[in-house]
Amino acid sequence: MLALFARRPCHSRLLSLRYLASEAVSTTTAETSSPAPADEASTSAQLKPATGLVREPAWWRDTTVDATRAYRIIMNRFRVHGSQREENYRQLVSRVKTPHDAGLAFTILDQGRKARAVLQQHTPYTFHTSQMFIEKCVAVKAFDTALEALQRAQEIGLQFFRGDAYFAVMKGAVLNKQLDIAIKVFEAMKENGVRPGGKVVHSLIMGSIINGRRDLAEAYAAEFRYNGVKINKASEEWLEGVRTPDEGKDGLGSPRDADSIGAEALGSDGAPSEEQEKTAAVTSA
């Protein structure tokens, strides 16, 4: 009796085995008939894209962003993140179209200097950024802003290759009847230790004469001779009266007037080579 009883299967155990078998069959059927979870995710993503995953394009790629809006964006980033990449400043400069825009760009360059100082970063702006800013100021006739940039070049960290930037502002000011700006640019040159070349000499002499200040032109000529600065033939002709204000505008920057202030050392795009930048940086330091 005991042996027969021990061989009899337990009814509850049979039920549990049948349940497990049926569960295994249903699971296999479900795996065969339904796609993988990865496929489900890809299908749902195609039908309904997830929100918030697509980033807006960077502001500097948006051609509708003008200088004023770019100024606000960068100023807000100053408050949130501190110092910005120099490329951001150039993007603002490239959008300058009015003297007001030039003032905004100059403010950003000044704020960028302050943000760098907080991080103990005192590397100056590149020649490219500095020259690009001056050229934009001249293009929109923001001579006051350009003058301030030249006067505060060392403070802000702007650097220029020899006297090209000074000449550009001086020439633009003279031709736009702003002789006072040209005079102050020349003073900034002397304060920054930049020796004038033939173009600067010619700009001052001719610019003084066409603006009705022959006495000033003669005073500059005497100063140049005293300090051993060469006065080219074109400038001498203006002093002697061979040339007159009627032919004035073509005189500035024409090939025959140019005893170069370093233009022959510039690259094809008007910017110094990488080797020249390093040499100038070492010299300025």
pLDDT digits (tens, 9 = 90+) for 200-253: 999 999 999 999 999 999 999 999 999 999 999 989 999 998 887 765 444 554
Q: Is 105 exposed, middle or buried (CB count within 10 Å of its CB: 0-12, 13-18, 19+)?
A: buried
Residue position matching structure tokens 């749902």: 44
pLDDT digits (tens, 9 = 90+) for 144-174: 999 999 999 989 999 988 788 999 999 999 9
Helix 67-81 / helix 86-93 crossing angle, nearest 10 deg: 160
- Contact of 92 with 125, CB cutoff 8 Å: no
The Cα 135–Cα 150 span in angstroms is 12
Backbone angles phi, psi at 54, to 5 degrees: -90, 120
Q: CA–CA separation, 142 vs 104, rounded Å?
A: 11
Q: pTM of the full predicted structure? A: 0.66
Name the nearest CA neighbour of 86 among 10, 33, 17, 157.
157
In the chain, helix, strand, coil percent, each to 5?
70, 0, 30
Pick the closest to residue 187 from 154, 147, 236, 230 (CA basis).
Answer: 147
Burial class (CB in 10 A: 0-12, 13-18, 19+), 283: exposed
Q: In whole angstroms, give the CA distance from residue 169 to residue 189.
A: 11
Q: Write down the pLDDT at residue 246.
A: 66
Q: What is the pLDDT of residues 1-35, one digit of tens each?
A: 444 445 555 555 544 555 555 555 455 444 444 44
The answer to whether the CB of 236 falls within 8 A of the CB of 207 is no
Amino acid 161: pLDDT: 81
pLDDT of residue 118: 73
How far is 263 from 25, CA to CA, in rounded Å?
A: 86
Residue with tokens 């002499």: 205
In this predicted model, what pLDDT tens digit does every residue of 101-159 receive, in sequence order? Answer: 999 999 999 998 888 777 777 788 999 999 999 999 999 999 999 999 999 998 999 99
- With vertex at residue 220, the alpha carbon angle to CA 239 and CA 160, rounded to the nearest 5 degrees, is 115
CA distances from 141 to 15, 28, 178, 228, 270 (A): 96, 79, 10, 32, 20
